[in-house]
Structure 1
Amino acid sequence: MRHKVYTREHILKAAYEVIAKDGFTNFTARNVAKKMGVSTQPIYLEFKNMQDLKNTLVETVYEDLKKKVFSVEHTGDKLMDLAINYIDLSQKSPKLFIALFIDNYGGGKLMYDQAYEHFRHTIHDHEEYANLSEEHLKALHTGIWISVTGVAALMSSGVIEPTRQQIITVVQQTIDSILAIEAKKQENNE
């Protein structure tokens, strides 16, 4: 009789299905194994522990999101498109969005760090942001992150239903405000 071999990819796919349905609340070896119809043994043969599986899953999912979701063009402004795509993800896949970006047990700091690196890479060649220091880039990222997460959360809970143009306006006002504050700081330091 042949044994079925479960690869990292099989385990990651099952783990993804668990978080897409239930978030990280029920993210256990038993639930991932149940999704695959096997014991937990293959999971622990491929991953050191559940934290290793979780970290690998978050990184894998973020790479997938970068290619399939965060790269979609809407306005031609890469920074604006990134913000819109983040909000769109919250609407198309609310449970996944919450699991990755909101849930205490979710992607958390790892997801935030991945998002920051992607943000830096995305705006790297953007003339408007070319001369920003690392401190200014972090301030811009944090401000946009807070703004779009707020919009996404309020939309997901049905509290607000902004148009695409209203979303663009909010994001642009956030960007402009942060850049103005950072420019003022720089002026005061000179």
Structure 2
Amino acid sequence: MPPKPKFTREEITAAALRVISRNGITALTAQTLGQELGSSARPIFTVFKTMEEVRQEAKTAAMHQFEGFAEKAVHYMPAFKQFGMQMILFALEEPHLYQLLFMQGDGRPHSFEEVFAGLGEPAGVCLDILQREYGLVETEAMALFRHVWIYTYGIATLCATGMCRFSEEEINDLLGQDFMAMLVRVKSGGLNQQTPHPMLKS
């Protein structure tokens, strides 16, 4: 009979998330995780096969945390802009978790559709809001979301890396101005076709 695990999967995952939150994904090792649990590394591997499995579980838990953070936006008006605010505030409050979720590439370029699929439930909620509150069809909502998300991602990444610091008022103004400008463009048909920049054409 295998030994009874000293820690549950949830306890180990929560400890891994704490290590990453404090010091980043590179700080998560069997040794640091064992120290966080107040134990040796051995009990970890009665539950997980490898540290990579632990990292993936921690990433899933981080996404759940981000989704809970983003869901607060539905209680604000306008909700879509607040989703952007929540993303940037998450980057400010949990920079290492933001980096884990949104700044860990796999070495190959991805289409925006692939990126969108990895954004979790909040992205789908945003599309619904854009269609319902602004009278956009799905293609228009996606075009608007694409542009505003890229803009928001840039601000959030500047915050998560410590390169820039913005006040909530500044973030609110930046997102509001960009959103209104792009909403006018999409309603006029100017943002529906995603034409590549000349420098990006093959």
Task: Give the TM-score, by structure 1 length.
Answer: 0.72
Query: Are 2:5 and 2:46, in contact at CA under 8 Å, matched by a contact in 1?
Result: no
Cα distance, 1:168 vs structure 2: 2.8
* Correspondence 1:13 to 2:35: no
1-structure distance, mates of 2:115, 2:35: 26
For residues 143-158 of structure 1, the aligned pairs below 5 Å read 143-155=147-159, 157=162
Structure 1: segments with no counterpart, 5+ residues: none
Residues 160, 57 of structure 1: CA spacing in aligned structure 2 closer, same or farther, 3 A cutoff? closer
Residues 54, 163 of structure 1: CA spacing in aligned structure 2 closer, same or farther, 3 A cutoff? closer
Root-mean-square deviation (CA, aligned residues, Å) is 3.4
2-structure distance, mates of 1:100, 1:184: 31
What is the aligned partner in structure 2 of residue 53 from structure 1?
54
Task: Give the TM-score, by structure 2 length.
Answer: 0.69
Higher mean C-alpha deviation, range 150-159 or range 15-24? 150-159
Q: Percent identity?
A: 21
1-structure distance, mates of 2:128, 2:35: 43
Structure 2: segments with no counterpart, 5+ residues: 194-202
Choose the corresponding residue for 1:161, options 132, 152, 166: 166
CA displacement 1:35-94 (0-9 Å, x = unmatched): 113333332332342232222211222112322x21224741221111111111222233
Cα distance, 1:118 vs structure 2: 2.0
Query: Are 1:23 and 1:96, in contact at CA under 8 Å, matched by a contact in 2?
Result: yes
Cα distance, 1:11 vs structure 2: 0.4
